[in-house]
Amino acid sequence: MQNEWTVIAPCAGVVLALVMLALALRAARKQRLVNDLPTSKTTGVFIGLVELKGTAEVETPVTSFQAEQACVWYHWSVEEHWSRTVTETYTDSDGKTQTRTRTESGWTTVADGGEMIPFYLKDDCGVIRVQPEGAKIEPQTLFDQTCGRFDALYYAKGPAGAVADSDHRRRFVEKGIALHALLFVVGQACERSDVVAAEIAQDKNAPMFLISTRSEEQVSCGLGATFWVLAILGLVLAVAGFVWGDRVGRFQLEPHPLKYSVVGVGFLFAWALGWMWMAYNSLVNLRQRVHQAWANVDVQLKRRNDLIPNLVTTVKGLRDYEQTLQPELAALRAQQSATPPGEPGPDHAGCAPLLAAVVERYPELKADGAFLNLQTNLVDTEQRIALARGYFNDIATFYNTRLTIVPDRFIAMLGAMQPQALMTASGFERAPVTIHFAQ
């Protein structure tokens, strides 16, 4: 068996080390994704992967079970503590049967549950709906209390039965996203099925779907720490597997520092190759998002070019419609009010059918509402263009920065990647729409 461990232990160490390396590179990729995504405004959300910050809002929130707090998502659990004494027999090194006792203890979950609902993420520009199903949730702790069976909470929020060997201590923990909580969201924006608007929802092809009560900086630092911890753990496991194989298989054999050094250098070489592969793919994805951001700007410019002239034509039609109506109404009013009723003059009863005919032909004056709608669309359209241009400049800046910092600039040279020029106010290829109301 000792000779078998000489082979098994190093192989197991290498496999575990590679698993840790893969998980470390995955964390690094997510950290770069978080760092390279500009924060969008809810009004300027475009279809694709986006990053948002805002508060959780909903008209009818759910009430959490333990804290009884208004939430949009929560999960609770009740754990019960147990302990027992175990007597076991074993054979010592002399072949004699011995008896020993030990104490085991732990926590067992005796009840849990939760609830989630779609909610709106609100910032200073507007709101966007978020479907939390399928997201990685990083919630706040709403309730955390440990008590004995004589506490009212013990049975009020927990089951009546008990686990085997129970110490009659229970721990009540509830985590959730409270109403109005500040959130950091990274996810895929897609079209809603009920209205013409975007929403954030699960997408199997999206690289990340995160709803966190932590800030962007905290999320990024956490992913960075995960990368380094897993990478170092992988290095330790790779070397430890060979050390353990030597010690188990050959008790009298002296350690082999050179062999262990070779194993460590081999792991570091694999780590370097894996990081280069991850960094290059991240730069390619970032370049694609830059191209997508420019396409979004072009879409908004085309929307302005197509929408505003049609709105102006509609407003002109309503304006001409009312310009025809107003003189007729003024003439009829003048005719009706020329002389008081009962005195010689125009026939008021005769004017009534004419007024009824005018009202029937022109049932409602709408030009003021049309002008207001045009003004609202002009403001909204220009705001969309400004947000799209700002998003493009932000992500292009992140991309250009990646191409200039070390070691990313050397990775970018492998793909002959070039910086992206930023967009200026005079750089639009589509001219703004000019509005004329003259006859």
Q: pLDDT tens digit string along 363-418?
A: 454 545 555 565 565 656 666 677 777 778 888 888 888 888 888 888 888 878 88
Concatenate the DSSP letters of all residues of 116-147 into one string. Answer: E--EEEE-SS-EEEE--TTPEEE-EEEEEEEE
Whole-Å CA distances, 39 to 24, 82, 185, 284, 392: 25, 48, 9, 20, 11
Instruction: List 198's β-bridge partners, or say none.
Output: 191
The class level of CATH for 275-427 reads: mainly alpha
What pLDDT is attached to residue 376?
60
Q: Exposed, middle or buried: residue 255 (CB in 10 Å: 0-12, 13-18, 19+)?
A: exposed
CB 133 within 8 A of CB 52: no
Q: Is the pTM for the entire model greater than 0.85?
A: no
pLDDT at 113 over 50: yes
Place of tokens 């800046």: 397
In terms of pLDDT, which residue wins out, 395 or 127? 127
CA distance 34 to 215: 11
Q: E-assigned strands of 117-260? A: 119-122, 127-130, 136-138, 140-148, 166-178, 182-191, 198-201, 210-212
What tokens does 217 get?
A: 């900086």
**Domain span(s) for CATH 1.20.1440 in the chain:** 275-427
Q: Exposed, middle or buried: residue 154 (CB in 10 Å: 0-12, 13-18, 19+)?
A: middle
**CA 130, 134, 139 angle in degrees (round to 5)?**
70
The average pLDDT across 263-278 equals: 92
CA distance 186 to 34: 8
pLDDT at 300 over 50: yes
Contacts of 140 (CB under 8 A, 6+ apart): 175, 176, 177, 178, 181, 213
% of the chain beyond a pLDDT of 70 = 73
CA distance 381 to 378: 5
% of the chain beyond a pLDDT of 90 = 40
Please state the length of the chain.
Answer: 439
Residue 221 identity: C
Confidence of residue 362 (pLDDT cuts 50, 70, 90): very low
- The highest-confidence range among 145-154, 329-338, 413-422, by mean pLDDT, is 145-154
What pLDDT is attached to residue 109?
95
